[in-house]
A and B are shown apart, each in its own frame.
Chain A
Amino acid sequence: MTNLTQPLHDHHKHCDELFAAAEADAHGNKWDSCEDALTRFREELEAHFCTEEQVLFPAFETATGMAGGPTQMMRFEHAQMRDLIGQLSAALAARDRDAFAGTAETLLIMMQQHNMKEENILYPMCDRSLPSDTVDVAGALKQRLEAECLV
Protein backbone atom coordinates (compact mmCIF):
# COMPACT_ATOMS: atom_id res chain seq x y z
CA MET A 1 0.00 0.00 0.00
CA THR A 2 1.33 3.41 -1.00
CA ASN A 3 0.25 6.86 0.05
CA LEU A 4 0.28 8.46 -3.35
CA THR A 5 -3.05 10.17 -2.66
CA GLN A 6 -1.68 12.06 0.37
CA PRO A 7 -1.37 15.38 -1.54
CA LEU A 8 -5.09 15.21 -2.29
CA HIS A 9 -5.91 14.63 1.38
CA ASP A 10 -3.88 17.71 2.26
CA HIS A 11 -5.39 19.74 -0.54
CA HIS A 12 -8.92 19.04 0.75
CA LYS A 13 -7.98 20.86 3.96
CA HIS A 14 -6.53 23.75 2.00
CA CYS A 15 -9.74 24.09 -0.04
CA ASP A 16 -11.74 24.06 3.22
CA GLU A 17 -9.77 27.10 4.42
CA LEU A 18 -10.49 28.99 1.22
CA PHE A 19 -14.18 28.10 1.42
CA ALA A 20 -14.40 29.30 5.04
CA ALA A 21 -12.78 32.61 4.10
CA ALA A 22 -15.21 33.24 1.23
CA GLU A 23 -18.19 32.32 3.41
CA ALA A 24 -17.08 34.59 6.28
CA ASP A 25 -16.54 37.51 3.87
CA ALA A 26 -20.02 37.12 2.38
CA HIS A 27 -21.51 36.86 5.86
CA GLY A 28 -19.81 40.15 6.77
CA ASN A 29 -20.89 41.79 3.48
CA LYS A 30 -17.22 42.14 2.46
CA TRP A 31 -18.01 41.43 -1.16
CA ASP A 32 -14.69 42.54 -2.67
CA SER A 33 -12.61 40.24 -0.54
CA CYS A 34 -15.29 37.56 -0.94
CA GLU A 35 -14.76 37.77 -4.68
CA ASP A 36 -11.02 37.21 -4.28
CA ALA A 37 -11.55 34.33 -1.85
CA LEU A 38 -14.20 32.67 -4.01
CA THR A 39 -12.02 32.95 -7.11
CA ARG A 40 -9.12 31.29 -5.31
CA PHE A 41 -11.41 28.60 -3.91
CA ARG A 42 -12.93 27.89 -7.32
CA GLU A 43 -9.54 27.68 -9.01
CA GLU A 44 -8.06 25.39 -6.38
CA LEU A 45 -11.11 23.13 -6.30
CA GLU A 46 -11.20 22.94 -10.09
CA ALA A 47 -7.51 21.98 -10.17
CA HIS A 48 -8.26 19.32 -7.58
CA PHE A 49 -11.20 17.89 -9.55
CA CYS A 50 -9.18 17.93 -12.79
CA THR A 51 -6.27 16.10 -11.15
CA GLU A 52 -8.63 13.38 -10.04
CA GLU A 53 -10.66 13.17 -13.24
CA GLN A 54 -7.72 13.37 -15.63
CA VAL A 55 -4.98 11.55 -13.73
CA LEU A 56 -5.98 9.56 -10.65
CA PHE A 57 -9.33 8.10 -11.72
CA PRO A 58 -8.18 6.89 -15.16
CA ALA A 59 -5.13 5.21 -13.56
CA PHE A 60 -7.38 3.53 -11.00
CA GLU A 61 -9.89 2.46 -13.63
CA THR A 62 -7.13 0.97 -15.79
CA ALA A 63 -5.55 -0.84 -12.84
CA THR A 64 -8.80 -2.32 -11.50
CA GLY A 65 -11.08 -2.44 -14.53
CA MET A 66 -13.71 -0.60 -12.45
CA ALA A 67 -14.92 2.19 -14.72
CA GLY A 68 -18.56 2.43 -13.64
CA GLY A 69 -18.13 2.26 -9.87
CA PRO A 70 -16.99 4.80 -7.33
CA THR A 71 -15.07 6.99 -9.77
CA GLN A 72 -18.22 7.58 -11.79
CA MET A 73 -20.07 8.58 -8.63
CA MET A 74 -17.23 10.97 -7.71
CA ARG A 75 -17.38 12.56 -11.17
CA PHE A 76 -21.13 13.06 -10.72
CA GLU A 77 -20.56 14.73 -7.36
CA HIS A 78 -17.89 16.96 -8.90
CA ALA A 79 -20.53 18.11 -11.38
CA GLN A 80 -22.94 18.82 -8.51
CA MET A 81 -20.31 20.90 -6.73
CA ARG A 82 -19.36 22.80 -9.89
CA ASP A 83 -23.02 23.65 -10.24
CA LEU A 84 -23.18 24.92 -6.64
CA ILE A 85 -20.07 27.02 -7.17
CA GLY A 86 -21.79 28.54 -10.21
CA GLN A 87 -24.70 29.45 -7.94
CA LEU A 88 -22.28 30.97 -5.41
CA SER A 89 -20.79 33.15 -8.15
CA ALA A 90 -24.29 34.28 -9.15
CA ALA A 91 -25.14 35.13 -5.52
CA LEU A 92 -21.87 37.05 -5.25
CA ALA A 93 -22.61 39.00 -8.44
CA ALA A 94 -26.07 39.87 -7.08
CA ARG A 95 -24.60 40.68 -3.64
CA ASP A 96 -27.31 38.35 -2.28
CA ARG A 97 -26.18 37.42 1.23
CA ASP A 98 -28.98 34.92 1.92
CA ALA A 99 -28.56 33.07 -1.36
CA PHE A 100 -24.79 32.94 -0.80
CA ALA A 101 -25.21 31.62 2.75
CA GLY A 102 -27.74 28.94 1.74
CA THR A 103 -25.72 27.74 -1.23
CA ALA A 104 -22.49 27.80 0.80
CA GLU A 105 -24.14 25.66 3.48
CA THR A 106 -25.29 23.16 0.86
CA LEU A 107 -21.90 23.07 -0.82
CA LEU A 108 -20.12 22.62 2.51
CA ILE A 109 -22.01 19.46 3.44
CA MET A 110 -21.87 18.11 -0.11
CA MET A 111 -18.13 18.76 -0.22
CA GLN A 112 -17.39 17.31 3.22
CA GLN A 113 -19.38 14.15 2.51
CA HIS A 114 -17.62 13.81 -0.80
CA ASN A 115 -14.21 14.29 0.81
CA MET A 116 -14.97 11.67 3.46
CA LYS A 117 -16.01 9.14 0.84
CA GLU A 118 -12.77 9.80 -1.04
CA GLU A 119 -10.54 9.83 2.03
CA ASN A 120 -12.13 6.80 3.69
CA ILE A 121 -12.93 4.62 0.70
CA LEU A 122 -11.67 5.69 -2.71
CA TYR A 123 -8.18 6.98 -1.86
CA PRO A 124 -7.32 3.87 0.19
CA MET A 125 -8.53 1.77 -2.77
CA CYS A 126 -6.24 3.80 -5.07
CA ASP A 127 -3.33 3.47 -2.64
CA ARG A 128 -3.84 -0.30 -2.59
CA SER A 129 -4.21 -0.82 -6.32
CA LEU A 130 -1.70 1.67 -7.77
CA PRO A 131 2.08 1.27 -7.45
CA SER A 132 3.66 4.50 -6.22
CA ASP A 133 5.50 5.23 -9.46
CA THR A 134 2.37 4.95 -11.64
CA VAL A 135 1.09 8.46 -11.14
CA ASP A 136 2.60 11.64 -9.75
CA VAL A 137 -0.43 13.14 -8.03
CA ALA A 138 1.48 16.01 -6.43
CA GLY A 139 3.04 16.97 -9.76
CA ALA A 140 -0.26 16.77 -11.59
CA LEU A 141 -1.98 18.92 -8.98
CA LYS A 142 0.81 21.50 -9.05
CA GLN A 143 0.68 21.65 -12.84
CA ARG A 144 -3.07 22.24 -12.77
CA LEU A 145 -2.79 24.88 -10.08
CA GLU A 146 -0.26 26.82 -12.10
CA ALA A 147 -2.03 26.60 -15.43
CA GLU A 148 -5.59 26.26 -16.59
CA CYS A 149 -6.87 22.71 -16.32
CA LEU A 150 -5.52 20.60 -19.16
CA VAL A 151 -8.64 19.41 -20.90
Chain B
Amino acid sequence: MHPNLSFEQAPPISVPYRFFLTAPWFGVAAGLLLAWLGEDAFASRWTPGILAITHLLVAGFMLQAMCGALLQFIPVAAGGNVWKPRLLAACVHPLLILAAALLVTAFLTTESRLFLAASHLFALALGAYVLVVGTALVRTPGQGNTLWALRFAVVGLAVTLILGVLLAQALGGLHSLSLIEVTQVHAAWGLGGWALMLVFGVSYYVVPMFQLTPAYPAWLAKALPPAMLGVLSLWSFQLSGRVDGWQRGVFIAGLATAGVYAVATLYLQAKRRRKVSDPTLVLFRGAMFALLAIFASGLLFVLIPSLGEEAMAPLWIGVLAIPGVFVSVISGMLYKIVPFLNWLHLQQLAGLTQVPPNMRQMIPERAITGQMRLHFGAVAAMLLAVPVPSLSRAAGLLFAASCAWLGWNLVTGVRAYLRFKGRILAADSGHES
Protein backbone atom coordinates (compact mmCIF):
# COMPACT_ATOMS: atom_id res chain seq x y z
CA MET B 1 0.00 0.00 0.00
CA HIS B 2 1.26 3.43 -0.87
CA PRO B 3 1.24 5.99 1.94
CA ASN B 4 -0.62 8.55 -0.13
CA LEU B 5 -3.73 6.40 0.19
CA SER B 6 -3.86 7.27 3.86
CA PHE B 7 -4.97 10.81 3.14
CA GLU B 8 -8.66 10.10 2.86
CA GLN B 9 -9.18 7.10 5.05
CA ALA B 10 -10.80 8.69 8.05
CA PRO B 11 -13.74 6.47 9.05
CA PRO B 12 -17.39 7.59 8.82
CA ILE B 13 -18.23 9.98 11.65
CA SER B 14 -20.58 7.42 13.24
CA VAL B 15 -17.61 5.11 13.98
CA PRO B 16 -15.88 7.20 16.66
CA TYR B 17 -19.06 9.00 17.77
CA ARG B 18 -20.94 5.89 18.92
CA PHE B 19 -18.09 5.19 21.35
CA PHE B 20 -17.67 8.84 22.41
CA LEU B 21 -21.37 9.32 23.12
CA THR B 22 -21.50 6.18 25.26
CA ALA B 23 -18.39 6.77 27.39
CA PRO B 24 -19.61 9.53 29.76
CA TRP B 25 -22.72 7.58 30.82
CA PHE B 26 -20.51 4.86 32.30
CA GLY B 27 -18.99 7.68 34.36
CA VAL B 28 -22.49 8.71 35.46
CA ALA B 29 -23.18 5.11 36.51
CA ALA B 30 -19.87 4.98 38.42
CA GLY B 31 -20.67 8.22 40.27
CA LEU B 32 -24.19 7.09 41.12
CA LEU B 33 -22.93 3.72 42.35
CA LEU B 34 -20.42 5.49 44.60
CA ALA B 35 -23.20 7.74 45.92
CA TRP B 36 -25.41 4.71 46.54
CA LEU B 37 -22.75 2.62 48.28
CA GLY B 38 -21.47 5.57 50.30
CA GLU B 39 -18.77 5.01 52.91
CA ASP B 40 -18.66 1.24 52.42
CA ALA B 41 -17.24 1.57 48.91
CA PHE B 42 -14.02 3.22 50.09
CA ALA B 43 -13.25 0.66 52.81
CA SER B 44 -10.63 -1.02 50.62
CA ARG B 45 -9.71 -1.45 46.97
CA TRP B 46 -11.00 -5.03 47.13
CA THR B 47 -14.62 -4.34 48.07
CA PRO B 48 -17.05 -5.54 45.38
CA GLY B 49 -18.41 -1.99 45.18
CA ILE B 50 -15.08 -0.34 44.41
CA LEU B 51 -14.22 -3.09 41.91
CA ALA B 52 -17.54 -2.41 40.17
CA ILE B 53 -16.97 1.37 40.20
CA THR B 54 -13.41 0.94 38.91
CA HIS B 55 -14.57 -1.26 36.03
CA LEU B 56 -17.39 1.12 35.12
CA LEU B 57 -14.65 3.68 34.63
CA VAL B 58 -11.88 1.61 33.02
CA ALA B 59 -13.89 -0.98 31.05
CA GLY B 60 -16.74 1.46 30.44
CA PHE B 61 -15.78 5.12 30.23
CA MET B 62 -12.09 4.78 29.29
CA LEU B 63 -12.35 1.71 27.06
CA GLN B 64 -15.23 3.19 25.04
CA ALA B 65 -13.50 6.54 24.53
CA MET B 66 -10.11 5.04 23.75
CA CYS B 67 -11.38 2.35 21.36
CA GLY B 68 -13.33 5.01 19.43
CA ALA B 69 -10.45 7.47 19.38
CA LEU B 70 -7.97 4.87 18.15
CA LEU B 71 -10.21 3.98 15.20
CA GLN B 72 -10.18 7.65 14.21
CA PHE B 73 -6.53 8.18 15.00
CA ILE B 74 -4.93 5.24 13.14
CA PRO B 75 -5.76 6.39 9.60
CA VAL B 76 -5.13 10.07 10.31
CA ALA B 77 -1.96 9.94 12.40
CA ALA B 78 -0.44 6.57 11.58
CA GLY B 79 -1.48 6.16 7.94
CA GLY B 80 -3.07 2.78 8.73
CA ASN B 81 -5.97 1.07 7.04
CA VAL B 82 -8.51 -0.33 9.52
CA TRP B 83 -10.47 -3.20 7.93
CA LYS B 84 -14.19 -2.38 7.67
CA PRO B 85 -14.28 0.17 10.52
CA ARG B 86 -18.06 0.57 10.33
CA LEU B 87 -18.64 -3.17 10.76
CA LEU B 88 -15.99 -3.42 13.48
CA ALA B 89 -17.55 -0.56 15.44
CA ALA B 90 -21.08 -1.92 14.95
CA CYS B 91 -20.01 -5.25 16.50
CA VAL B 92 -17.50 -4.18 19.13
CA HIS B 93 -19.37 -1.18 20.55
CA PRO B 94 -22.55 -2.96 21.74
CA LEU B 95 -20.59 -6.03 22.86
CA LEU B 96 -18.34 -3.88 25.04
CA ILE B 97 -21.33 -2.13 26.61
CA LEU B 98 -22.88 -5.49 27.43
CA ALA B 99 -19.59 -6.99 28.66
CA ALA B 100 -18.92 -4.05 30.99
CA ALA B 101 -22.49 -4.13 32.33
CA LEU B 102 -22.24 -7.87 32.99
CA LEU B 103 -18.86 -7.55 34.67
CA VAL B 104 -20.07 -4.78 36.97
CA THR B 105 -23.19 -6.75 37.86
CA ALA B 106 -20.98 -9.78 38.51
CA PHE B 107 -18.87 -7.81 41.00
CA LEU B 108 -21.96 -6.54 42.79
CA THR B 109 -23.74 -9.90 42.94
CA THR B 110 -20.68 -12.24 42.97
CA GLU B 111 -22.65 -14.42 40.58
CA SER B 112 -20.14 -16.75 38.91
CA ARG B 113 -22.12 -17.20 35.68
CA LEU B 114 -22.04 -13.45 35.12
CA PHE B 115 -18.24 -13.39 35.47
CA LEU B 116 -17.99 -16.14 32.86
CA ALA B 117 -20.43 -14.43 30.49
CA ALA B 118 -18.54 -11.13 30.83
CA SER B 119 -15.22 -12.83 30.20
CA HIS B 120 -16.53 -14.45 27.00
CA LEU B 121 -17.95 -11.19 25.71
CA PHE B 122 -14.77 -9.22 26.45
CA ALA B 123 -12.68 -11.93 24.80
CA LEU B 124 -14.86 -11.81 21.71
CA ALA B 125 -15.17 -8.04 21.38
CA LEU B 126 -11.65 -7.00 22.36
CA GLY B 127 -10.11 -10.04 20.66
CA ALA B 128 -11.64 -8.91 17.36
CA TYR B 129 -10.68 -5.30 18.04
CA VAL B 130 -7.06 -6.13 18.87
CA LEU B 131 -6.79 -8.34 15.79
CA VAL B 132 -8.17 -5.76 13.33
CA VAL B 133 -6.51 -2.70 14.85
CA GLY B 134 -3.24 -4.57 15.44
CA THR B 135 -3.16 -5.69 11.79
CA ALA B 136 -3.68 -2.09 10.64
CA LEU B 137 -0.85 -0.90 12.88
CA VAL B 138 1.53 -3.64 11.73
CA ARG B 139 0.80 -3.17 8.04
CA THR B 140 0.85 0.62 7.86
CA PRO B 141 3.71 2.11 5.85
CA GLY B 142 3.75 5.01 8.33
CA GLN B 143 6.66 5.53 10.67
CA GLY B 144 7.53 7.38 13.84
CA ASN B 145 7.26 7.35 17.58
CA THR B 146 3.48 7.84 17.67
CA LEU B 147 3.05 4.66 15.67
CA TRP B 148 5.33 2.66 17.97
CA ALA B 149 3.45 3.89 21.04
CA LEU B 150 0.14 2.87 19.42
CA ARG B 151 1.51 -0.59 18.60
CA PHE B 152 2.71 -1.06 22.17
CA ALA B 153 -0.66 0.19 23.46
CA VAL B 154 -2.48 -2.51 21.53
CA VAL B 155 -0.07 -5.09 23.00
CA GLY B 156 -0.92 -3.60 26.42
CA LEU B 157 -4.63 -3.95 25.68
CA ALA B 158 -4.14 -7.60 24.65
CA VAL B 159 -2.22 -8.47 27.84
CA THR B 160 -4.82 -6.65 29.98
CA LEU B 161 -7.57 -8.58 28.22
CA ILE B 162 -5.92 -11.99 28.65
CA LEU B 163 -5.27 -11.39 32.36
CA GLY B 164 -8.74 -9.93 32.84
CA VAL B 165 -10.37 -12.95 31.19
CA LEU B 166 -8.31 -15.30 33.39
CA LEU B 167 -9.33 -13.37 36.50
CA ALA B 168 -13.00 -13.35 35.56
CA GLN B 169 -12.85 -17.08 34.86
CA ALA B 170 -11.22 -17.64 38.26
CA LEU B 171 -13.96 -15.59 39.93
CA GLY B 172 -16.43 -17.62 37.92
CA GLY B 173 -15.01 -20.78 39.49
CA LEU B 174 -13.42 -22.16 36.33
CA HIS B 175 -9.91 -22.39 37.79
CA SER B 176 -7.85 -20.99 40.64
CA LEU B 177 -5.29 -18.19 40.43
CA SER B 178 -3.20 -16.01 42.74
CA LEU B 179 -5.97 -13.44 42.51
CA ILE B 180 -4.17 -10.53 44.18
CA GLU B 181 -0.92 -10.83 42.24
CA VAL B 182 -2.64 -11.37 38.89
CA THR B 183 -4.88 -8.37 39.60
CA GLN B 184 -1.81 -6.19 40.33
CA VAL B 185 -0.34 -7.17 36.96
CA HIS B 186 -3.69 -6.83 35.12
CA ALA B 187 -4.23 -3.32 36.52
CA ALA B 188 -0.67 -2.21 35.69
CA TRP B 189 -0.95 -3.37 32.07
CA GLY B 190 -4.38 -1.77 31.72
CA LEU B 191 -3.42 1.62 33.13
CA GLY B 192 0.26 1.76 32.08
CA GLY B 193 0.52 -0.52 29.07
CA TRP B 194 -2.75 0.34 27.34
CA ALA B 195 -4.17 3.65 28.61
CA LEU B 196 -1.01 5.62 29.35
CA MET B 197 0.79 4.17 26.32
CA LEU B 198 -2.06 5.39 24.12
CA VAL B 199 -1.83 8.80 25.80
CA PHE B 200 1.94 8.86 25.02
CA GLY B 201 1.29 8.21 21.33
CA VAL B 202 -1.59 10.66 21.06
CA SER B 203 0.34 13.35 22.98
CA TYR B 204 3.31 13.16 20.61
CA TYR B 205 0.87 14.09 17.88
CA VAL B 206 -1.60 16.50 19.47
CA VAL B 207 0.35 18.42 22.13
CA PRO B 208 2.48 20.27 19.53
CA MET B 209 -0.55 20.57 17.24
CA PHE B 210 -3.09 22.07 19.65
CA GLN B 211 -0.84 24.60 21.36
CA LEU B 212 2.05 25.05 18.90
CA THR B 213 4.59 23.68 21.37
CA PRO B 214 7.99 22.34 20.36
CA ALA B 215 7.94 18.61 19.53
CA TYR B 216 8.79 16.06 22.24
CA PRO B 217 12.57 15.43 22.08
CA ALA B 218 12.98 12.49 19.67
CA TRP B 219 15.07 10.43 22.11
CA LEU B 220 12.45 10.79 24.84
CA ALA B 221 9.53 10.00 22.56
CA LYS B 222 11.39 6.93 21.39
CA ALA B 223 12.46 5.80 24.88
CA LEU B 224 9.22 6.20 26.89
CA PRO B 225 7.11 3.39 25.34
CA PRO B 226 9.78 0.64 25.52
CA ALA B 227 10.78 1.83 29.02
CA MET B 228 7.17 1.41 30.17
CA LEU B 229 6.98 -1.96 28.45
CA GLY B 230 10.19 -3.07 30.20
CA VAL B 231 8.86 -2.00 33.60
CA LEU B 232 5.60 -3.85 33.01
CA SER B 233 7.46 -7.00 31.96
CA LEU B 234 9.45 -6.96 35.22
CA TRP B 235 6.25 -6.25 37.18
CA SER B 236 4.73 -9.34 35.55
CA PHE B 237 7.13 -11.59 37.48
CA GLN B 238 4.45 -11.39 40.18
CA LEU B 239 2.33 -13.72 38.06
CA SER B 240 4.31 -16.54 39.64
CA GLY B 241 2.41 -15.69 42.84
CA ARG B 242 5.55 -14.44 44.60
CA VAL B 243 6.20 -10.74 45.23
CA ASP B 244 9.88 -9.99 45.85
CA GLY B 245 11.21 -6.86 47.52
CA TRP B 246 12.70 -5.54 44.26
CA GLN B 247 9.18 -5.10 42.89
CA ARG B 248 9.02 -1.90 44.96
CA GLY B 249 11.79 -0.55 42.74
CA VAL B 250 9.87 -1.62 39.63
CA PHE B 251 6.77 0.17 40.94
CA ILE B 252 8.74 3.40 41.42
CA ALA B 253 10.42 2.99 38.01
CA GLY B 254 6.99 2.74 36.37
CA LEU B 255 5.70 5.83 38.15
CA ALA B 256 8.95 7.66 37.33
CA THR B 257 8.53 6.85 33.63
CA ALA B 258 5.05 8.34 33.77
CA GLY B 259 6.44 11.28 35.76
CA VAL B 260 9.11 12.03 33.15
CA TYR B 261 6.41 12.11 30.48
CA ALA B 262 4.33 14.48 32.64
CA VAL B 263 7.27 16.84 33.25
CA ALA B 264 8.15 16.84 29.54
CA THR B 265 4.54 17.61 28.59
CA LEU B 266 4.23 20.44 31.13
CA TYR B 267 7.57 21.85 29.97
CA LEU B 268 6.53 21.79 26.31
CA GLN B 269 3.18 23.39 27.15
CA ALA B 270 5.00 26.13 29.05
CA LYS B 271 7.02 26.78 25.88
CA ARG B 272 3.95 26.98 23.65
CA ARG B 273 3.89 29.64 20.98
CA ARG B 274 0.11 29.87 21.08
CA LYS B 275 -0.74 32.27 23.86
CA VAL B 276 -4.49 31.65 23.99
CA SER B 277 -5.47 28.99 26.53
CA ASP B 278 -8.50 26.69 26.31
CA PRO B 279 -10.23 23.97 28.38
CA THR B 280 -8.36 21.18 26.56
CA LEU B 281 -5.03 22.66 27.66
CA VAL B 282 -6.24 23.06 31.24
CA LEU B 283 -7.61 19.48 31.36
CA PHE B 284 -4.35 18.14 29.90
CA ARG B 285 -2.28 20.03 32.44
CA GLY B 286 -4.55 18.90 35.27
CA ALA B 287 -3.93 15.33 34.16
CA MET B 288 -0.16 15.87 34.11
CA PHE B 289 -0.22 17.28 37.65
CA ALA B 290 -2.26 14.26 38.75
CA LEU B 291 0.38 12.01 37.18
CA LEU B 292 3.10 13.83 39.13
CA ALA B 293 1.02 13.52 42.30
CA ILE B 294 0.86 9.75 41.71
CA PHE B 295 4.65 9.62 41.45
CA ALA B 296 5.08 11.65 44.65
CA SER B 297 2.47 9.56 46.51
CA GLY B 298 3.97 6.27 45.29
CA LEU B 299 7.41 7.36 46.44
CA LEU B 300 6.02 8.32 49.84
CA PHE B 301 4.20 5.01 50.17
CA VAL B 302 7.39 3.06 49.41
CA LEU B 303 9.57 5.21 51.72
CA ILE B 304 7.06 5.07 54.59
CA PRO B 305 5.77 1.46 54.43
CA SER B 306 3.26 1.97 57.26
CA LEU B 307 1.57 4.61 55.10
CA GLY B 308 1.77 2.47 51.96
CA GLU B 309 0.12 -0.45 53.75
CA GLU B 310 -2.95 1.63 54.65
CA ALA B 311 -6.09 0.48 52.80
CA MET B 312 -6.51 4.02 51.53
CA ALA B 313 -3.13 4.14 49.73
CA PRO B 314 -4.19 2.25 46.57
CA LEU B 315 -7.55 4.06 46.57
CA TRP B 316 -5.75 7.42 46.65
CA ILE B 317 -3.60 6.39 43.67
CA GLY B 318 -6.63 4.97 41.87
CA VAL B 319 -8.62 8.20 42.18
CA LEU B 320 -5.64 10.23 40.99
CA ALA B 321 -5.06 7.88 38.05
CA ILE B 322 -8.54 7.12 36.74
CA PRO B 323 -10.68 10.25 37.21
CA GLY B 324 -7.62 12.50 37.75
CA VAL B 325 -5.44 11.54 34.80
CA PHE B 326 -7.48 9.59 32.29
CA VAL B 327 -10.97 11.09 32.58
CA SER B 328 -9.33 14.55 32.40
CA VAL B 329 -7.25 13.77 29.30
CA ILE B 330 -10.16 12.04 27.56
CA SER B 331 -12.55 14.92 28.29
CA GLY B 332 -10.02 17.42 26.97
CA MET B 333 -9.47 15.39 23.82
CA LEU B 334 -13.21 14.91 23.21
CA TYR B 335 -13.74 18.67 23.42
CA LYS B 336 -11.25 19.11 20.56
CA ILE B 337 -12.00 16.03 18.47
CA VAL B 338 -15.80 16.30 18.32
CA PRO B 339 -16.00 19.96 17.20
CA PHE B 340 -13.20 19.40 14.67
CA LEU B 341 -14.68 16.20 13.22
CA ASN B 342 -18.05 17.96 13.01
CA TRP B 343 -16.49 20.78 11.07
CA LEU B 344 -14.41 18.51 8.83
CA HIS B 345 -17.28 16.24 7.85
CA LEU B 346 -19.68 19.18 7.32
CA GLN B 347 -17.08 21.00 5.30
CA GLN B 348 -16.57 18.00 3.03
CA LEU B 349 -20.30 17.62 2.65
CA ALA B 350 -20.83 21.28 1.83
CA GLY B 351 -17.82 21.68 -0.49
CA LEU B 352 -16.71 25.27 -0.70
CA THR B 353 -20.14 26.68 -1.42
CA GLN B 354 -21.54 26.77 2.11
CA VAL B 355 -19.83 27.77 5.33
CA PRO B 356 -20.15 25.26 8.18
CA PRO B 357 -20.14 26.67 11.72
CA ASN B 358 -16.70 27.01 13.28
CA MET B 359 -15.49 24.74 16.07
CA ARG B 360 -16.62 26.96 18.90
CA GLN B 361 -20.15 27.07 17.54
CA MET B 362 -20.50 23.29 18.01
CA ILE B 363 -20.39 23.14 21.82
CA PRO B 364 -20.78 26.41 23.78
CA GLU B 365 -17.45 27.39 25.37
CA ARG B 366 -19.20 28.32 28.61
CA ALA B 367 -20.68 24.82 28.93
CA ILE B 368 -17.24 23.26 28.39
CA THR B 369 -15.59 25.50 30.99
CA GLY B 370 -18.37 24.88 33.49
CA GLN B 371 -18.17 21.12 33.04
CA MET B 372 -14.39 21.20 33.38
CA ARG B 373 -14.62 23.06 36.70
CA LEU B 374 -17.21 20.60 37.98
CA HIS B 375 -14.96 17.71 36.90
CA PHE B 376 -11.96 19.07 38.83
CA GLY B 377 -14.24 19.70 41.81
CA ALA B 378 -15.47 16.10 41.64
CA VAL B 379 -11.89 14.75 41.47
CA ALA B 380 -10.95 16.86 44.51
CA ALA B 381 -14.05 15.62 46.38
CA MET B 382 -13.20 11.99 45.58
CA LEU B 383 -9.62 12.51 46.78
CA LEU B 384 -10.96 13.97 50.02
CA ALA B 385 -13.40 11.07 50.36
CA VAL B 386 -10.46 8.62 50.52
CA PRO B 387 -9.41 9.75 54.04
CA VAL B 388 -12.90 11.09 54.90
CA PRO B 389 -15.30 8.38 53.60
CA SER B 390 -18.35 10.29 54.83
CA LEU B 391 -17.81 12.54 51.79
CA SER B 392 -18.09 9.67 49.33
CA ARG B 393 -21.81 10.13 48.63
CA ALA B 394 -21.35 13.80 47.78
CA ALA B 395 -18.23 12.99 45.74
CA GLY B 396 -20.12 10.33 43.79
CA LEU B 397 -22.98 12.70 43.01
CA LEU B 398 -20.56 15.43 41.89
CA PHE B 399 -18.75 13.00 39.61
CA ALA B 400 -22.03 11.68 38.17
CA ALA B 401 -23.17 15.26 37.52
CA SER B 402 -19.87 16.14 35.86
CA CYS B 403 -19.99 13.08 33.57
CA ALA B 404 -23.65 13.74 32.71
CA TRP B 405 -22.70 17.29 31.74
CA LEU B 406 -19.85 15.97 29.59
CA GLY B 407 -22.29 13.54 27.95
CA TRP B 408 -24.78 16.35 27.37
CA ASN B 409 -22.11 18.62 25.90
CA LEU B 410 -21.19 15.88 23.42
CA VAL B 411 -24.87 15.40 22.54
CA THR B 412 -25.07 19.16 21.92
CA GLY B 413 -22.10 18.82 19.56
CA VAL B 414 -23.71 15.97 17.64
CA ARG B 415 -27.03 17.83 17.44
CA ALA B 416 -25.19 20.81 15.95
CA TYR B 417 -23.68 18.45 13.38
CA LEU B 418 -27.06 16.96 12.48
CA ARG B 419 -28.70 20.39 12.27
CA PHE B 420 -26.16 21.77 9.82
CA LYS B 421 -26.01 18.53 7.88
CA GLY B 422 -29.77 18.81 7.40
CA ARG B 423 -29.36 22.40 6.20
CA ILE B 424 -26.66 21.44 3.69
CA LEU B 425 -28.72 18.55 2.32
CA ALA B 426 -31.82 20.76 2.09
CA ALA B 427 -29.86 23.43 0.22
CA ASP B 428 -28.46 20.80 -2.16
CA SER B 429 -31.87 19.34 -2.91
CA GLY B 430 -33.16 22.91 -3.38
CA HIS B 431 -30.46 23.52 -6.03
CA GLU B 432 -31.28 20.29 -7.80
CA SER B 433 -35.00 20.95 -7.99
Contact = CB atoms under 8 A, between A and B. Distances in A.
Contacts of A69: 2, 4, 7
A112 B276 CA distance: 16
Contacts of B142: 120
B210 interface: yes
Interface residues of A, number: 33
A108 B359 CA distance: 11
Given A17-B273, A23-B276, A101-B276, A109 B209 contact: yes
B259 to A, nearest CB: 27
Nearest to B2: A69
Interface string A17-43: 101100110010000000000000000
Contact of B79 (A19, A110, A121): A121
B209 A24 contact: no
B358 A83 contact: no
A95 interface: no
A20 B4 contact: no
A121 B3 contact: yes
Nearest to B141: A121
B431 to A, nearest CB: 19
Contact of A106 (B76, B273, B278, B343): B343
Interface string B263-280: 000000000011110100
Given A66-B4, A125-B3, A87 B276 contact: no
Given A113-B209, A121-B79, A24 B359 contact: no
Interface string B354-398: 010111110000000000000000000000000000000000000
Given A109-B209, A125-B4, A102 B275 contact: no
A109 B144 CA distance: 20
A116 to B, nearest CB: 7
Given A16-B273, A106-B359, A109-B209, 14 more contacts: A20-B212, A24-B275, A73-B7, A80-B352, A83-B352, A98-B360, A102-B359, A103-B358, A105-B360, A106-B343, A120-B144, A121-B7, A121-B79, A125-B3
Interface of A: 16-17, 19-20, 23-24, 27, 66, 69-70, 73, 79-80, 83, 87, 98-99, 101-103, 105-106, 108-110, 112-113, 116-117, 120-122, 125
Interface of B: 2-4, 6-8, 76-77, 79, 142-144, 205, 208-210, 212, 273-276, 278, 336, 339-340, 343-344, 347, 352, 355, 357-361
